[in-house]
Each structure stands twice: as C-alpha cells, then as structure tokens.
Amino acid sequence: MTGWAIEIAQAALVLALAPGLVGVVRWLKARLQSRRGAPPWQPYYELRKLFGKDVIVSSNASWLFRLAPYVVFASTAAAACLVPSLAVTRPLDAVGDLLVLVYLLLLGTVFLSLAGLDPGSAFGGMGSSREMTVAALAEPTVALAIFALALSAGSTNLGQIVGRTLADPAAALSPGHLLAFAALFVVMLAETGRLPVDNPATHLELTMIHEAMVLEYSGRYLALIEWAAALKLLVFFALLGNLFVPWGVAAVAAPAPLALALGSLLVKLAVIAVVVAVLETRVAKLRLFRVPELLSVSFVLALLAVTSSFLGR
C-alpha cells in the first residue's frame, strides 16, 4: 500500500515541480545574461492564464488536433511515473523499463508532429518535419546509452539500474557510465528543444522546431502542451540525476529517507538546471543541418560507452 502511496506522491510531485523547473532555468539564464528576468514561478501564472482562456482552432484542423494535447500530456505523464524520482523499489517499476519510457516520449512526439501538420500551415509542417528528423537521429544514441547502463546493471529496469549503482558506487565513475551520461546529456538537449538544437525562447526564428509545431495551439491545449514539455524536461533531468548519481534515492519506504530523497532530487535538478543555463548562455544555436553532426557525436559517445562497459566487465 505504501508503494502506491509513494507512486501517487511522486506523480503529483513531478507534475507540480515541472513548470517551476522551466521557470528556474529561465530565471538562471536571465541572471547569467545580466537581466532581471521573470521570477521562477512565472510558468505557473502562464499555465493558469492559458487554462482560463478560450481556444482558437484552425478551420482546417481535424479531431486529431484536439486529441493530440491530451495524448502528449498523458504519455509524458505516464513516462514521468516510470522515473524513480524518490524511491528505488516501486510497484510501477515492473510495468515499464527505460525503453518503454523512451517509446512513451516518442508517442508524444509523434502526436505533436501530426498535430503540427494538421492545420496545414507551412510553419507546422516545417516544425513537424524537423522534430521527427531530430527524434529519429537521437533514437540510436538513446538505445545504445540504455544498453551501456543495462550492461553493468544487468537490466533495463530503472529501479534495478539505480539499485545496482547504489550497491556498487564505483560503477558511477566507470568510463561506461560517464560516456553514457555525456551521450544522454546531448540527447536531452535535442529532445527537449534546448540550445544548441532548438531555441526555447523564441517563436520567431526560422530555424525553430518545437515552437513552430505548436504555433497553432492556444488556451487549454497550449497549456497542456507546455506543461507536458516542462514535464519532459524534468523527466530527462531526473533521469540524468538519479540514474547516474543515484545517491539520495530512498532504498526503503520510510519518512526520513523519502525526505532525504526529495531534498537530493531538488539539489540534482538545480545543479543540472545551472549547467543547462550556463550552456545556453555560452553557446549559439547550431544551423539545422549541423544538428546531425552533434547527434552523431553523441552516438559515438554512446558507442564508446557500450564498448567500455563491455571491456570493463
């Protein structure tokens, strides 16, 4: 019973935290760029405002356009439930592994891409085409990074990967883990539409990907999509934090370890947010056709991760 209570608490926590995380990254970026910036809780206001507004739907759009925000939100939320944010052993751990998580996120990507095509605007088609290009090219890196992790843990289940690293702390510093971390970090930038792959700060750049796809959305639909995007960012941050640096994740379901887990999760998210904010301040956006080069670098990193995990056995 406590297991399910933890699941529900964890799901509620990540849903609640996600917009704040986006706000923190934005606020940090503003500070680094010598701007005052909006407060970190600004995204909550934005969501409230969007949920309170009517939606405008293109006359060309079909039922798919109105279904897609719900599918995107539900699939991202389901993926977020699979992440061991607080506890190692959980009832949902057996329902899906890391591959399932990746495919759930892909489901959201596919629906968003279809919705981008639906109103028939050139922007939507452009964003959709580019999004699927990036998603397809990121896929092999993700799979190989997962396998590098699975190789040392003997399983692709998230709880088991975390548990194995907790039992054998030296594994966290093995070259396989470090390389897989680097590979997944690059994929995270690509999948969540951060610089240098996509620019989350603008609607008006011709190289944009995510923002072009969602250009036709408004009101509650846009709110769901924005929330799902924030959730996706949190999923990737939490994965990078808890899979590679698992200390703090509660091994037993007791109040004290769970409180510690919550604290350590917040610290890890904050650290990765700082890294991303610094990176986004330092680098410029890549031309779209340079993005595959970045992704092939991450692919090579993942390949090296598998190789060194194999040699290190």
Partner 1 sequence: MTLETTACLSAYMVLAYLGGAFAALLPLRSGLTRALTAGGAIAGAGAGIALAARVLIAGEPFALTVPALLTVGGGVALRLDGLGAFFLLLIGVVAAPAALYGVGYSAAYAGRYSLRWLGAMLNLFLLTMSLVVLADNVLTFLLTWEAMSLASYFLVMTEHERDDTVAAGGWYLAMTHVGLALILVAFVLLSPAGGGGGFADLRAAAATLSPALRGVVFVLAVLGFGSKAGLVPLHVWLPRAHPAAPSHVSALMSGAMVKLGVYGILRVALDLLGVGPAWWGALLIGLGAASALVGVLYALTEDDLKRLLAYSSVENVGLVFIGVGAGLLFASLGEPAAATLALAAALYHALNHGVFKALLFLGAGAVAHATGSRDMNRLGGLIGRLPWTAACFLVGALAIGGLPPFNGFVSEWLLFQSLLPAIGSGAPLVAPVMTLAVGALALTAGLAAAAFVKAFGITFLALPRSDEARAAHEAPVTMRVAMVVLAALCALLGLGAAFVLPVLGGLLAGHAGLPRVAPALTAGPLLLPPGGGASMSPSLLAIGLLLALAGAWLAVRVGAARGLRVGDTWGCGRIGQTARMEYTSTAYAEPLRRVFAELYRPTEDLTIDVHPESRYFVQSRTYRSEIVPWFERYVYAPLVRWVAAGAAHTRAIQSGSAHAYLAYLVVALLALLAISLAWSASL
73 near partner 1, rule: CB under 8 A: yes
Stretch that binds partner 1, among 31-39, 179-187, 212-220, 274-282 (CB under 8 A): 212-220
d(CA 276, CA 282): 10
Q: What are the C-alpha distances in Å from 301 to residues 172, 180, 182, 186, 305? A: 16, 7, 7, 10, 6
d(CA 126, CA 209): 7
206 near partner 1, rule: CB under 8 A: no
236 near partner 1, rule: CB under 8 A: no
Residues 273-302 within binding reach of partner 1 (CB under 8 A): 288-289, 292, 299
**For residue 146, what are the β-bridge partners?**
none
Binding pattern to partner 1, positions 33-62, x when CB under 8 A?
------------------xxxxxxxxxx-x
Token couple for 166: 């907790």
Q: Could you count the other beta carbons within 10 Å of the beta carbon of residue 138? A: 27
d(CA 268, CA 274): 10
Q: Could you count the other beta carbons within 10 Å of the beta carbon of residue 60? A: 11
8 near partner 1, rule: CB under 8 A: no
d(CA 58, CA 155): 46
12 near partner 1, rule: CB under 8 A: no
Q: How many chain residues touch partner 1 (CB under 8 A)?
A: 83
137 near partner 1, rule: CB under 8 A: yes
Give 24 or 134: the residue with its C-beta nearer to partner 1: 134
Residues 139-178 within binding reach of partner 1 (CB under 8 A): 139-140, 142-144, 147, 150-151, 154-157, 160
Residues 91-120 within binding reach of partner 1 (CB under 8 A): 92, 94-97, 99-100, 103-104, 106-107, 109-110, 113-114, 117-120
308 near partner 1, rule: CB under 8 A: no
Cis upstream peptide for 91 (omega within 30°): no
Residues 251-270 within binding reach of partner 1 (CB under 8 A): none
